[in-house]
Amino acid sequence: SQQGEEDPQALSIQEGENATMNCSYKTSINNLQWYRQNSGRGLVHLILIRSNEREKHSGRLRVTLDTSKKSSSLLITASRAADTASYFCATDANDYKLSFGAGTTVTVRA
Amino acid sequence: DGGITQSPKYLFRKEGQNVTLSCEQNLNHDAMYWYRQDPGQGLRLIYYSQIVNDFQKGDIAEGYSVSREKKESFPLTVTSAQKNPTAFYLCASSPRGQGWGYTFGSGTRLTVV
């Protein structure tokens, strides 16, 4: 079953702008992860945030986690054309496997 | 370089035929996973294995089978019982236990002809 749901489904921004996408989930989790997928390729792990963490940074990425609302957000700052991809959240609900959402497709226009 | 290799990249299956997708990793990871991705959708878990000679069904195991005889290898067979096998198949691996990101292969695109 897909636990995470991303919002919006698609996002189009100008190069240099910030992109924000959200993920909501249903059950308690051990950690939440974000992945990127370029068209026709495998997924690449971006960042992991544990249930006792509220915010995490990695380069131009900022992830927040609100366990009371069962939601997470991914912010990409100063976007580049190379950031054009689909972004997925995945939840680890204490059962040793990840459940993925349907993803947000981000298009960065030059 | 360490990583996961999936082969073939493209595969065509005739009706009623079984096909096997290969997944090999040299990351020394204990856990391996198979996901299916349909156009515009997320990933759905088919099978996973936390250790050699042991594996569990995921959410959509019907019509699929796996084996885990070696740590490095986790092949997926799509049987004729799988009525709608056309999809993008992704293999992943991770260290055993929780709190690890997955490393994914580049995928196999299976088409029924």
pLDDT of A20 reads 97
Judge contact between A67 and A54, C-beta under 8 A.
no
What pLDDT does A89 receive? Answer: 96
The Cα–Cα gap between B46 and B49 comes to 11
Question: What is the structure's pLDDT at A2?
Answer: 54
Cβ neighbours for B61, distance < 8 A, ≥ 6 positions apart: B46, B47
Q: Cβ contacts of residue B1 below 8 Å, gap of 6+?
A: none
pLDDT band at B1 (very low <50, low <70, confident <90, very high): low
**pLDDT at site A48:** 96
B33 contact residues in A (CB cutoff 8 A) = 97-98
CB contact under 8 Å between B45 and A99, yes or no, is yes
Q: Which of A88, A92, A100 sits opposite B98 (nearest CB)?
A: A92
pLDDT of residue A37: 97
Residue A77 has pLDDT above 90, yes or no: yes
Least Cα separation, residue B62 to chain A (angstroms): 14
Partners of A1 on chain B (C-beta within 8 Å) are 59
Structure-model confidence comparison of residues A60 and A96, the more confident one: A60
What is the structure's pLDDT at B102?
Answer: 96
Closest CA to B90 of B103, B112, B107: B107
3-class secondary-structure state, position A82: helix
pLDDT at B99 over 90: no
CB contact (8 A) between residue A33 and residue B48: no
Task: Kindly state the greatest CA–CA separation across chain A.
Answer: 42
Enumerate the β-bridge partners of residue A98: A92
For B7-64, what is each residue's pLDDT tens digit?
Answer: 999 999 998 899 999 999 999 999 999 999 998 788 999 999 999 999 999 999 999 9
Kindly report the nearest CA distance between residue B16 and chain A, in angstroms. Answer: 26
B20 CB-near residues (< 8 Å, 6+ apart): B75, B76, B77, B78
Q: Cis link prior to B8 (omega < 30° from 0)? A: yes
For chain A, the residues whose C-beta falls within 8 A of a C-beta of chain B are: 1-2, 4, 30-31, 33, 35, 40-45, 48, 50, 88, 90, 92, 94, 96-103
Chain B residues whose beta carbon lies within 8 Å of the beta carbon of residue A48: 99-101
Q: What is the pLDDT of residue B72?
A: 98
R_g (Cα) of chain A, nearest Å: 13
Please count the other Cβ atoms lying within 10 Å of the Cβ belonging to residue B51. Answer: 12
Q: What is the pLDDT at residue A47? A: 97
Percent of chain A residues past pLDDT 90, beyond the cut: 88
Strands B103-104 and B76-78: unpaired
pLDDT, tens digit (0-9, with 9 covering 90-100), for B54-98: 999 999 999 999 999 999 999 999 999 898 999 999 999 999 887
Distance CA A49, CA A63 (A): 8
- Distance between CA atoms of residues A23 and A4, nearest Å: 6
Per-chain mean pLDDT for chain B: 94
Sign of the dihedral through C-alpha A94, B46, A26, A38: positive
Q: Which residue has the tokens 């990695």?
A: A58
